[in-house]
Structure 1
Amino acid sequence: MSKPAKTEAELIAMAVAELKVHSDCPDGMVISVLRDGDSWEFRVSAEQATIDKPGYPECVAMVVQIGDHLCKQYDFKE
């Protein structure tokens, strides 16, 4: 049985919504989807000023956890 598929924009929107519930992340974080064969994961990038803000490392870790959870539920759709 296959998992439902979501677009990159849908997956990122789900991650952003969950981040807002769980933590107060600095503005300027950019979440993208990195595909690896049939699998995918989130990547976070930001300018140095954002990286230097309090809470940034914790927010990146949260994005990784959210991605692990969502990857088990959804496939990536082009």
Structure 2
Amino acid sequence: MDKPKKTTAELVAIALAELGDHGIHPNGIRISVIPAGDAWEFRTSADAEAEAAPGYADRVAKLVQIGDHLSSQFDWAG
């Protein structure tokens, strides 16, 4: 069964909403979508201030979890 396709903007918006549901605010973190074999995954980048902020690694780890969950539900429209 084919999964519904979402654009990069849609996937990032869903991820940001889910982060917010967990009380996580990704200030300074940029989220992109990249191909990963037959699937896709989130990739983050951040400015030095965001990387140095307490909890940065936890925010990125939660985003990876969200990406894993979303990639099982949606294909990337590219």
1:63 aligns with 2:63: yes
Looking at structure 2, the residues matched to 58 and 25 of structure 1 have their Cα atoms a distance apart, in angstroms, of: 11
Q: What is the aligned partner in structure 2 of residue 40 from structure 1? A: 40
Runs (4 or more) in structure 1 with deviation over 6 Å come to none
TM-score of the superposed pair, with normalisation by structure 2: 0.93
Mean Cα deviation higher: 58-67 or 47-56: 47-56
Equivalent pairs: percent with the same residue? 53
**Would the aligned equivalents of 1:29 and 1:44 in 2 still touch at CA under 8 Å?**
yes
Following superposition, the deviation at residue 44 of structure 1 comes to 1.0
Mean Cα deviation higher: 36-45 or 63-72: 36-45
Between the two proteins, the alignment pairs up a number of residues equal to: 78
- Structure 2: segments with no counterpart, 5+ residues: none
Q: What is the aligned partner in structure 2 of residue 29 from structure 1? A: 29
CA RMSD of aligned residues (A): 1.1
Q: What is the aligned partner in structure 2 of residue 53 from structure 1? A: 53
Q: What is the aligned partner in structure 2 of residue 77 from structure 1? A: 77
Q: What is the aligned partner in structure 2 of residue 6 from structure 1? A: 6
